[in-house]
């Protein structure tokens, strides 16, 4: 029997309806949370999966979150039977998570008398602290347990009843517990909103129709992605780059890829990359897959739905025990933020050999993770803060790179200066573009930024960054962007390494300058 051909108008309507559910879920999360990282910077993601755990739709949130969220749903489905009104939380990078500060919530959606979930609604939010050795939970460490509290899939709500012991355990192990508690409640509220809208859609259109058009959207994305891959030149396209260090004395760590388009599938072979690092630049396979999906999506038409169809055309090969497939227990805090960016750089440089006019030069190549915390003298309470700093975007064949922008695997906003100074014992002394840091060429790379924070009370400050020893490469004769750098100013001035933790006293200043993007063309 031939499969029913979808009506193209209804297909687009369902694409927009399903995506809108995710967008509204994100808006509820952002407006309900209180931490600057979620409320102001919007470091979260929302998505919708079918009953088999396949991605149906997502909002335009964080690529590294959404490309790896399917592993979270799979881990929850393996962990235990699910009932209506269950909510599961997890962050274990070796059981569906990415790195520990990213707390993922999964809520099964039941329809009618069905005994199995028809859908799953999911969100993932980066919390400013999840315990561990230093505030922000993002410092260089040599094992996962030192990075923070590890949560395998565990129910925080069972059949609608809160599992109070889980929340008490979590809040007893983090800094700024009151803030964490509200943000977790915001995540739950976001999932309920998504479930409500999804059930309204099912009531209006019927479960079979919704499931059918969800399958049609996946098939359409797969078909278009295969046609894009078929248009790539034949052969194996290779590239390599390095992570400079792991913050624990190791490095550099090479990352190598061999791309091959064949039979409508794209094979991404990372075997031959560095062995597992001692410090936290290891990236689990879900992060590697997220980077591959992101790069493939960049080659596809703008309006293409992002769903499981894209995953079906990828073959990702890694070597167990490597920096891209570490053993359980390995430190991974930077894999989600720094190694993911380098994976994109390497994949795009391989594609530059195949389709040079379609691929830009390297962007900043780092999220320049800055975190700090301590005890606020105004309240006597512990606190933690985390943000990523923007850099310069790489130039392309027909455009200059954008300055001061989050690129590739992150998609967050800036923290308002007023929020900094109102909530924390710091003063913003400078927040400006780093003029001239973009690489030269026929088209210039975008400039990075400079941020200076004066400490008004004793704080522990951590930086986790890359591209401080060499700037992002240019393309086709373009010059590299300027490397990043960081320093402590004032009393006891010092140049800071890209990955470090320092205790600062009142009156000292930390300055971070992020890399510019590479230039394009001689």
Number of domains in the chain: 2
> Which residues are within 8 A (CB) of 76 and not within 5 positions of it... i.e. 6 or more apart?
82, 88, 90, 96, 106, 120, 153
Residue 336: inside a domain, yes or no? no
Per-residue model confidence (pLDDT) at position 3? 53
Q: What is the pTM of this model?
A: 0.95
Q: What's the chain's Rg over C-alpha atoms?
A: 22
Per-residue model confidence (pLDDT) at position 2? 45
Q: Residue 137 sits in which domain range?
A: 8-220
Q: Where does a domain end: 187, 220, 253? A: 220
Per-residue model confidence (pLDDT) at position 69? 87
Distance CA(400)–CA(31), nearest Å, equals: 35
Query: Nearest to residue 287, comparing CAs of 249, 260, 326?
Result: 326
DSSP 189-249: HHHHHHHHHHHHHHHHH-HHHHHHHHHHHHHHHHHHHHHHHHTSPSSEEEEEEEE---SSS
Residue 146: inside a domain, yes or no? yes
Residue 71: inside a domain, yes or no? yes
Residue 200: inside a domain, yes or no? yes
Q: Are 8 and 216 in contact (CB under 8 A)?
A: no
Question: How many other CB atoms are there within 10 angstroms of residue 432's CB atom?
Answer: 11
The H or E element containing residue 253 is: strand 253-262
Residue 241: inside a domain, yes or no? no
Walk along the chain (522 residues) and give the pLDDT tens digit of each residue. Answer: 345 788 899 999 999 999 999 999 999 999 999 999 999 999 999 999 999 999 999 987 677 776 778 999 999 999 999 999 999 999 999 998 999 999 999 999 999 888 999 999 999 999 999 999 999 999 889 999 999 999 999 999 999 999 989 999 999 999 999 999 999 999 999 999 999 999 999 999 999 999 999 999 999 999 999 999 999 999 999 999 999 999 999 999 999 999 999 989 999 999 999 999 999 999 999 999 999 999 999 999 988 999 999 999 999 999 999 999 999 999 999 999 999 999 999 999 999 989 999 999 999 999 999 999 999 888 898 999 999 999 999 999 999 999 999 999 988 888 888 988 999 999 999 999 999 999 999 999 999 999 999 999 999 999 999 999 999 999 999 999 999 999 999 888 999 999 999 999 999 999 999 999 999 999
Question: How many other CB atoms are there within 10 angstroms of residue 203's CB atom?
Answer: 10
Distance CA(85)–CA(103), nearest Å, equals: 19
Q: Where does a domain end: 186, 220, 254? A: 220
- Provide the 8-state DSSP code for 280: T
Residue 327: inside a domain, yes or no? no
Helices assigned H by DSSP within 264-397: 285-299, 308-311, 340-354
Q: Where does a domain end: 220, 255, 276? A: 220
Residue 246: inside a domain, yes or no? no
Residue 159: inside a domain, yes or no? yes
């Amino acid at each position: 029997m031939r499969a029913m051909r979808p009506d193209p108008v209804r297909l687009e309507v369902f694409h927009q309806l399903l995506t809108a559910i995710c967008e509204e879920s994100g808006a509820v999360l952002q407006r309900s949370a209180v931490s600057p990282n979620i409320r102001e910077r919007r470091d979260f993601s929302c998505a919708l999966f079918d009953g088999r755990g396949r991605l149906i739709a997502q909002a335009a949130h964080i690529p590294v979150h959404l490309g790896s969220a399917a592993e979270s749903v799979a881990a929850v489905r393996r962990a235990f039977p699910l009932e209506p009104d269950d909510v599961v939380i997890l962050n274990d990078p070796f059981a569906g998570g990415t790195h520990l500060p990213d707390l993922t919530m999964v809520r099964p959606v039941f329809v009618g008398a069905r005994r199995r979930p028809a859908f799953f609604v999911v969100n993932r939010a980066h919390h400013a602290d999840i315990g561990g050795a230093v505030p922000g939970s993002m410092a260089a460490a040599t094992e996962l347990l030192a990075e923070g509290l590890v949560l395998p899939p565990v129910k925080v709500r069972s059949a609608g009843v809160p599992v109070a012991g889980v929340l008490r355990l979590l809040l007893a192990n983090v800094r700024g517990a009151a803030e964490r508690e509200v943000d977790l409640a915001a995540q739950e509220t976001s999932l309920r909103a998504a479930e409500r809208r999804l059930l309204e859609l099912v009531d209006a259109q019927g479960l079979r129709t919704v499931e059918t058009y969800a399958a049609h959207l996946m098939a359409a994305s797969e078909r278009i992605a295969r046609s894009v891959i078929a248009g790539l030149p034949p052969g194996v396209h290779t590239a390599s780059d390095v992570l400079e260090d792991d913050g624990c004395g190791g490095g550099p760590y090479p990352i190598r890829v061999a791309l091959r388009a064949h039979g409508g599938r794209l094979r991404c072979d990372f075997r031959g990359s560095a062995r597992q690092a001692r410090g936290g630049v290891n990236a689990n396979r879900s992060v590697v897959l997220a980077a591959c999906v992101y790069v493939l999506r960049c080659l596809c038409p703008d309006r293409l739905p992002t769903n499981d169809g894209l995953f079906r055309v990828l073959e990702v090969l890694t070597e167990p025990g490597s920096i891209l497939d570490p053993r359980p227990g390995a430190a991974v805090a930077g894999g989600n933020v720094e190694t993911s960016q380098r994976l994109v750089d390497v994949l795009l440089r391989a594609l530059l050999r195949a389709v040079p006019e379609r691929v830009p030069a390297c962007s900043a190549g780092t999220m320049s993770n800055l975190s700090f915390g301590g005890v606020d003298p105004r309240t006597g309470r512990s606190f933690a803060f985390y943000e990523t700093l923007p850099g310069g975007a790489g130039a392309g064949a027909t455009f200059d790179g954008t300055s001061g922008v989050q690129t590739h695997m992150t998609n967050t906003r800036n923290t308002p200066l007023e929020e900094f100074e109102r909530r924390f014992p710091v003063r913003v002394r400078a927040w400006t573009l780093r003029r001239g840091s973009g690489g030269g060429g026929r088209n210039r790379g975008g400039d990075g930024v400079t941020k200076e924070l004066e400490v008004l009370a004793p704080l522990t400050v951590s930086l986790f960054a890359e591209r401080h020893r060499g700037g992002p490469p240019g393309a086709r004769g373009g010059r590299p962007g300027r490397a990043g750098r960081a320093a402590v100013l004032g009393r006891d001035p010092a140049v800071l390494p890209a990955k470090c933790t320092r205790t600062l006293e009142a009156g000292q200043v930390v300055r971070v300058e992020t890399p510019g993007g590479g230039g394009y063309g001689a």
